Structure 1
Amino acid sequence: MQPNILVINPGSTSDDIGYYRGQTPVFEVTVRYSQTDLEPYDGKNVTEQLPLRKKIILDYLIDHQVPLKEINAVIGRGGFIRSVEGGVYGVNDQMVSDLETGRYGGIHACNLGGILAREIAQYAKCPSFIANPVVIDELQPLARYSGMPENPRISIFHALSQKRVARLIAEKQGQKYEQVNCIVCHGGGGISVGAHCKGKVIDVSNGYEGEGPMTPQRSGTVPCAGLVSMCFSGKYTQKDIRLKMRGKGGLAAYTGTYDAKELEEFIQTGKKRPGSLIRCTRQQAKEALDAMIYQMAKEIGAMAVVLKGKVDFIALTGGLMFSKYIPPQIAGQVGWIAPIYVFPGSEEKDALRDAARRALENPSIVKHYS
């Protein structure tokens, strides 16, 4: 008999939740949070959002008449723990402490994955897990150089999503993930672009803050001298600068909103939704969106150089790829490099469900976090 598994995948602006009786989904839902919903939490520890997100999950279980006692495992998206190798980890006290305190520098909503899994699993009296957290580190030595020895490049990216999609495409081509070279671009509230070489992500843009393309709410790479001047101008606090880098940067800074779908609607029709935060013209909105796409394509091109031009395919995944505009624009700029595959959303729920199932079937694969 196959196990019943609850999957929790928190993102910066959404929660992806699924409950499965064996292979049968009881419900799969993406809860999206508006800029207004999250405004009270700006600059605060992400754990402040815990009651909001936990209530939504428990309400869905109640609405679908899922008794807690029937759940065999709860698995959450891995957050900012110490750098680890890939795999499935049991959630323990040390992990929860590191996630809650942001000990390893991260205050992203993905930290809530392990915490929510642990709390709900305690109600259900079942195991809780995470799998392939964002801090998987497979960088080649040259990729760590930043120009400042005190400030090396580090690996933080959408590891679960990128590896799942790369593996699926390789299998469709009759190959193993460990046999191919590919580039995966995950586009959501954050954007990361990775160079996958024979099963290892040897270089990747740190989509969390300060690297790669600008995103709907993050600045990405910015001119260093200008940033230093801003930091010492006396006009901004450290909190202000952090919010410009992550939360109120990117499209939000240029247009007023980080809702790419709303922005596209405005560009197409000129009409704003009731209560819209858009504060620019249609032309300005289009130029900002095109600039983000331009930067995504440029980063994909850079990863092609990392792989020395030997690229079997390029994968575009994440919530931004539901757009009818963004994927074709990217493909128009990088399609000459390799075939393009578009996976809107992500395969993260399936990846997490399968990881929990494997952990229950073979507990010896579960790794201990310390």
Structure 2
Amino acid sequence: MKVLVINPGSTSTKVAIYENERCIFLETYEHSPEELAKCETLMDQEPLRRNCILSALEKAGFKIEDFDAIAARGGILPPLESGTYVVDERMVNYLKHESPVKHVSNLACVIAYELANGKVPVYTTDPVSVDEMVPEARFSGIPEIERKSLSHALNIKIVCRKVATELSKALEELNAVVAHLGGGISIAAVEKGKIIDVNNANDEGPFSPERTGELPVGDVVRMCFSGKYTKDELKKKFVGRGGLVAYLGTNDLRKALEMAKKDRNALLVVKAMAYQIAKEIGGMCAVLKGKVDAIILTGGMAHSNEFVEMIKEHVYKFAPIFVLPGEFEMEALALGTLRVMKGEEKAKIWGGPNG
């Protein structure tokens, strides 16, 4: 079985071809800021991204008709169950016109559906808006504000599958705390395979390379009414120019660690980020009542042994630690689609925004 996998990122478009569980082709197209600036809206990037995918297929010697299915990264949909979903016209229209967050992931299903043109089925697995949170986790302290489940669900789920296999367990038997450490950070409590609590990677949890994470709310209110910033400037300050960028002028952990060798303040900033990550991991261990089979560190920052050790020294007594650096999104999308095609899992049908 051949599966085409499509995954647009903020400055790149990834294309992969899987033959059963084996990746036989992988290409990443980088997009310059100047190239993206020509697109007035997010959906205006569609032709640019689609042409990259067609170029990749030409390079690999494939046509759309050669595939048994297309697997596309999931966009910002309303809260839904974990699993693999059929991408249909209703979902595409929502992502194009109604999604509340204009996120680059919204492009994937739209492009895949149009490329398929009814010739091959299109699926998406574990979108960002997977919501399995327990009722207690939704309370914020203000009735008007409910905590939301927006996380790196796709990567969280696949690393849980990998570790469950290593522990000779089924996913549904695994209790784990997963820390996805990238430009944004998601730290999830996974109980019996379900993400029962997780920080919103945009505005909760530890600070990250370019996001502030949680902030003292009183000071945020004062900033909002100081007259110094517009709403958009503040949003950018919190997401995009926060975290390591705000303290050290870089969103690259490798550069921050190099700075830390010569600058005690830079070292303190990096240690503070590891400290906050460890504190959040500890909190999620409490959510699981201490019944934790594994702590899993994944995402780009997990490539740094030095940074991983900073986290480990705080949490090593809680549970065995597994380090799976990088992200496995392409594999997760392909395997989710293959499970459906092989009859191991039933594809879900999205019921619409109120379904």
- Say whether the fold is shared (TM-score over 0.5): yes
Q: Which of 213, 219, 227 is equivalent to 1:220?
A: 213
List per-residue Cα deviations over 1:243-300 (Å, max 9, x = no partner). 12222222222222323334334545x7xxxxxxxxxxx4444333322222111110
Which runs of 5 or more structure 2 residues have no equivalent in the other structure?
none
Flag the 1:130–1:65 CA change in 2: closer, same or farther, 3 A.
same
Aligned to 1:162: 156
Matched residues in 2 for 1:247 and 1:45: separation? 18
Paired AA for residue 310 in structure 1 = K
> Which SS does the other structure have where 1:28 is aligned?
strand
1:84–1:136 Cα contact (<8 Å) kept = yes
Matched residues in 2 for 1:359 and 1:188: separation? 29
Flag the 1:246–1:58 CA change in 2: closer, same or farther, 3 A.
farther
List per-residue Cα deviations over 1:340-365 (Å, max 9, x = no partner). 10111123222211222233344992
Paired AA for residue 217 in structure 1 = E
Paired AA for residue 286 in structure 2 = V
Matched residues in 1 for 2:22 and 2:132: separation? 34
Q: RMSD of the alignment, in Å? A: 2.6
Flag the 1:363–1:341 CA change in 2: closer, same or farther, 3 A.
closer
Aligned to 1:120: 115
Flag the 1:327–1:364 CA change in 2: closer, same or farther, 3 A.
closer
| Matching of residues 32-47 of structure 1 within 5 Å | 36=33, 40=37, 45-47=41-43
2:259–2:267 Cα contact (<8 Å) kept = no
1:80–1:102 Cα contact (<8 Å) kept = no
2:339–2:345 Cα contact (<8 Å) kept = no
Q: Which of 72, 79, 87 is equivalent to 2:75?
A: 79
Aligned to 2:256: 263
Aligned to 1:322: 303
List per-residue Cα deviations over 1:41-62 (Å, max 9, x = no partner). 99x7543443443333332222
Paired AA for residue 180 in structure 2 = H
| Matching of residues 199-210 of structure 1 within 5 Å | 199-207=193-201, 209-210=202-203
Flag the 1:360–1:251 CA change in 2: closer, same or farther, 3 A.
same
Aligned to 1:273: none
Matched pairs, number: 351
List per-residue Cα deviations over 1:141-195 (Å, max 9, x = no partner). 1111110011011111111211111122112111122223210011112110011
Matched residues in 2 for 1:364 and 1:166: separation? 17
CA displacement at 1:39 relative to structure 2: 8.0
CA displacement at 1:79 relative to structure 2: 1.7
> Which SS does the other structure have where 2:234 is aligned?
helix
CA displacement at 1:13 relative to structure 2: 5.1
Aligned to 2:268: 287
Matched residues in 2 for 1:119 and 1:41: separation? 22
> Which SS does the other structure have where 2:214 is aligned?
coil
1:83–1:136 Cα contact (<8 Å) kept = yes
Matched residues in 2 for 1:363 and 1:121: separation? 23
1:12–1:189 Cα contact (<8 Å) kept = no
Aligned to 2:17: 19
Q: Which of 298, 307, 317 is equivalent to 1:336?
A: 317
Flag the 1:62–1:206 CA change in 2: closer, same or farther, 3 A.
same
Which runs of 5 or more structure 1 residues have no equivalent in the other structure?
271-281
Aligned to 2:129: 135
CA displacement at 1:201 relative to structure 2: 1.4
Matched residues in 2 for 1:66 and 1:331: separation? 45
List per-residue Cα deviations over 1:42-96 (Å, max 9, x = no partner). 9x75434434433333322222222333122211121210111122112122222
CA displacement at 1:12 relative to structure 2: 4.1
Q: TM-score, normalised by structure 1?
A: 0.86
Matched residues in 2 for 1:130 and 1:303: separation? 28
Deviation larger for 136-145 or 256-265: 256-265
> Which SS does the other structure have where 1:137 is aligned?
coil
CA displacement at 1:16 relative to structure 2: 4.1
Tell me if 1:296 matches 2:281. Answer: no
Tell me if 1:182 matches 2:167. Answer: no
1:87–1:132 Cα contact (<8 Å) kept = yes
CA displacement at 1:28 relative to structure 2: 2.4
Flag the 1:351–1:296 CA change in 2: closer, same or farther, 3 A.
same
Paired AA for residue 58 in structure 2 = I
Flag the 1:298–1:162 CA change in 2: closer, same or farther, 3 A.
same
Paired AA for residue 88 in structure 1 = T
Matched residues in 1 for 2:36 and 2:225: separation? 26
Tell me if 1:60 matches 2:53. Answer: no
1:218–1:246 Cα contact (<8 Å) kept = yes
2:13–2:52 Cα contact (<8 Å) kept = no
Flag the 1:38–1:199 CA change in 2: closer, same or farther, 3 A.
farther
Tell me if 1:101 matches 2:97. Answer: yes
1:88–1:132 Cα contact (<8 Å) kept = yes
1:8–1:117 Cα contact (<8 Å) kept = yes
Q: TM-score, normalised by structure 2?
A: 0.89
